[in-house]
């Protein structure tokens, strides 16, 4: 019996070793595990927020926020007449005190919006996230949002799944590179699960880390993890889109003139994104400067301010998905009566939602910034819809709202491609791809380098994850003699210009070396030959003898590249030594490129072997 168990153990270990030795098997296995935790974590956070809202915010004040389409469908919402608005600040202060106590006692790094913390861990902390973070983040975010705080659940879910990815890296003894990939996959899976947007979530994991770059290696494990997480969360909630579009609304792009309207939408969304970013970090900076205020009080102060605002505008409380759904349902009488009143109310709600989110999270609370960004974008879109539809009556309210909210957060997050795809998955608005692309790209450029995720870096060269690749230019280690062309083009000083031109045409180059008795005496370039030249004249009459583009075999390719970029002939002469008149070869941009690519392939192969050896 013992021998049978031993045989089974050895067989399992062999299968495990074989699977983990292959990148495909390894990431399929780890991706599935991350996806399972992403889906379960999304359910846990979803239920936690629901229960805290029910027993704290609703139980204390009588206010039950409207629900998103995934729960309510397109049911009109009516405010209860039994709401005690003056108790809003009490609910939020209680939530703030509990959050502060939890975070400061257990995991201060779980403060703020989780996606940004996960991005920071990727770049600066070798992808390491403390094991307690997922649980602490779940509880803290549920308290913040459930008590009425204006925050999203996507950031906490991203940090939960990213933390589990970091944990798996330790369990399976993955190296630092793979830990970062596992953690990034968790970001995508967590967000893709909670938004029921698996493709967008997977792409977001590669895009959200940078402002101008992608972490492409995370894509495949992110897709696997997102699909698994989506399947689990979707099985619990029902495989619906996060927001429902009324059956009588037909979304699409049907007329080119609509692009004019969406250009204005993109501009407004970009400016709205800048307002959101600057407000958020302006409020955050204020709380960071309050050194004399106890960290146990800051979330309560922020919550109290949000509660006071909510007395007059309860629409800014919580996730805000339900209010967005009511806008999509066309239940505008809930917000006001008459065109001018509605425009004013929606603009006010846009501004106050940004302010409320800033105080809820910037005061060291816990929650995400994605969901509030969509909601305030929807409020802005609703305000824009009235003047836009006056000039473009064939556009619907829902089309303008959807494009505005996605364009706004696409610009704010510096992840336009992922946000466009996620937006279409959340609203089933794939027919709006053209206006979404136009408006989001405009918003992206208007926001410049500003981002709601401060831990983002510009590109891979600025990331700690790729620091070793950029410490020293690779071309500084490659000597010219390994890349130069030894069988170079040459011509004798006694030859005619016509002979030189024929050689240039046959070789399809712009220059060649002029020699006498094997020694270089000049350089013939097409640019040095006048149009009225006598082709029977000798080469020496037009050749260049000064300021020649000369380097030496032991110089490196970096210096060669720098020099050749200023050389109109596109070729360098490589002399045997400073004292010699003998030519060792020539070097063009093509030879530089080939040598660089060869070195990159060598480095990648060495890294791959090192990773395999470490497993």
Name the burial class of residue 464, with classes exposed (0-12), middle (13-18) and buried (19+) by CB atoms within 10 angstroms of its CB. Answer: middle
**CATH 3.30.700.30 correct for 258-467:** no
Q: What is the pLDDT of residue 187?
A: 92
pLDDT at 614 over 70: no
> Could you give the dihedral angle defined by the CA atoms of residues 149, 155, 156 and 160, in that order, rounded to the nearest 10 degrees?
180
Quick one: angle between helices 339-362 and 298-312, nearest 10? 170
CATH superfamily of 475-597: CBS-domain (3.10.580.10)
Residue 71 pLDDT level (bands cut at 50, 70, 90) = low
Q: What is the pLDDT of residue 453?
A: 94
pTM across the whole model:
0.77
CATH superfamily of 18-237: Clc chloride channel (1.10.3080.10)
- State the Cα–Cα distance between residues 71 and 426, nearest whole angstrom: 13
Is 475-597 the same fold as 18-237? no
Q: Give first-to-last CA distance, the chain, whole Å.
A: 31
- State the Cα–Cα distance between residues 137 and 223, nearest whole angstrom: 24
Average per-residue pLDDT in the chain?
Answer: 88
What average pLDDT does this structure show over 539-564? 85
Q: What is the pLDDT of residue 14?
A: 63
**Residue indicated by tokens 């239940």:** 331
What are the extents of the domains in the chain?
18-237, 258-467, 475-597
Q: What is the DSSP letter of 250?
A: -
Q: What is the DSSP letter of 395?
A: S
Q: What is the pLDDT of residue 97?
A: 96
Residue 615 pLDDT level (bands cut at 50, 70, 90) = very low
- 293, 212, 177: which is closest to 611 by C-alpha? 177
In this structure, the number of other CB atoms found within 10 A of the CB of residue 293 comes to 12
Most confident of 2-16, 121-135, 408-422: 408-422
pLDDT at 143 over 60: yes
């Amino acid at each position: 019996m013992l021998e049978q168990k031993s045989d089974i153990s050895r067989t399992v270990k062999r299968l495990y070793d074989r699977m983990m030795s292959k990148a495909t098997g390894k990431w399929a296995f780890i991706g599935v595990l991350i996806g399972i935790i992403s889906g379960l974590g999304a359910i846990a956070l979803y239920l936690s927020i629901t229960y805290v809202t029910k027993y704290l915010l609703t139980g204390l004040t009588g206010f039950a926020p409207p629900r998103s389409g995934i729960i309510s469908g397109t049911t009109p919402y009516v405010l209860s007449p039994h709401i005690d608005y003056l108790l809003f600040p009490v609910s939020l202060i209680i939530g703030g005190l509990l959050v502060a106590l939890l975070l400061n006692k257990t995991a201060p790094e779980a403060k703020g919006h989780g996606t940004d913390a996960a991005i920071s861990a990727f770049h600066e902390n070798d992808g390491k996230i403390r094991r307690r973070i997922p649980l602490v983040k779940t509880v803290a975010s549920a308290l913040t949002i459930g008590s009425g705080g204006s925050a999203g659940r996507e950031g906490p879910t991203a940090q939960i799944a990213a933390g589990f990815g970091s944990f798996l890296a330790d369990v399976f003894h993955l190296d630092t590179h793979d830990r970062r990939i596992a953690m990034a996959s968790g970001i995508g899976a967590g967000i893709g699960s909670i938004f029921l947007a698996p493709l967008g979530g997977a792409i977001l994991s590669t895009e959200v880390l940078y402002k101008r770059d992608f972490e492409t290696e995370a894509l495949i494990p992110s897709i696997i993890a997102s699909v698994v997480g989506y399947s689990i969360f979707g099985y619990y909630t029902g495989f619906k889109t996060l927001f429902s579009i009324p059956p009588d609304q037909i979304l699409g792009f049907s007329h080119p003139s609509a692009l004019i309207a969406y250009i204005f939408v993109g501009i407004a969304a970009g400016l709205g994104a800048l307002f959101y970013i600057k407000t958020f970090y302006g409020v955050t900076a204020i709380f960071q400067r309050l050194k004399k205020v106890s960290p146990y009080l800051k979330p309560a102060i922020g919550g109290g301010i949000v509660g006071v605002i909510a007395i007059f505008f309860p629409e800014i409380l919580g996730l805000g998905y339900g209010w967005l759904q009511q806008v999509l349902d066309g239940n505008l009488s809930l917000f006001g009566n008459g065109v001018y009143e509605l425009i004013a109310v929606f603009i006010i709600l846009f501004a106050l939602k940004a302010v409320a989110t800033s105080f809820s999270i910037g005061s060291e609370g816990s929650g995400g910034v994605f969901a509030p960004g969509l909601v305030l974008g929807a409020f802005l879109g609703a305000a824009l819809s009235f003047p836009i539809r006056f000039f473009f009556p064939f556009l619907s309210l829902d089309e303008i709202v959807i494009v505005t909210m996605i364009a706004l957060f696409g610009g704010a997050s510096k992840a336009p491609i992922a946000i466009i795809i996620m937006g279409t998955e959340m609203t089933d608005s794939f027919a709006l791809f053209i206006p979404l692309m136009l408006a989001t790209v405009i918003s992206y450029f208007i926001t410049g380098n500003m981002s709601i995720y401060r831990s983002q870096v510009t590109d891979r060269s600025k990331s700690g994850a790729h620091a070793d690749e950029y410490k020293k230019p690779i071309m500084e280690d490659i000597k010219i003699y390994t890349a130069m062309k030894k069988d170079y083009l040459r011509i004798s000083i006694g030859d005619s210009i016509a002979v030189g031109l024929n050689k240039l045409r046959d070789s399809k180059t712009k220059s060649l070396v002029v020699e006498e008795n094997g020694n270089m005496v000049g350089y013939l370039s097409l640019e040095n030959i006048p149009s009225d030249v006598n082709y029977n004249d000798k080469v020496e009459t037009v050749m260049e003898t000064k300021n020649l583009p000369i380097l030496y075999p032991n110089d490196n390719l970096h210096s060669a590249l720098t020099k050749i970029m200023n050389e109109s002939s596109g070729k360098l002469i490589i002399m045997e030594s400073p004292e010699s008149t003998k030519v060792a070869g020539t070097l063009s941009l093509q030879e530089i490129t080939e040598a660089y690519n060869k070195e990159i392939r060598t480095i990648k192969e060495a890294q791959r072997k090192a990773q395999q050896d470490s497993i």
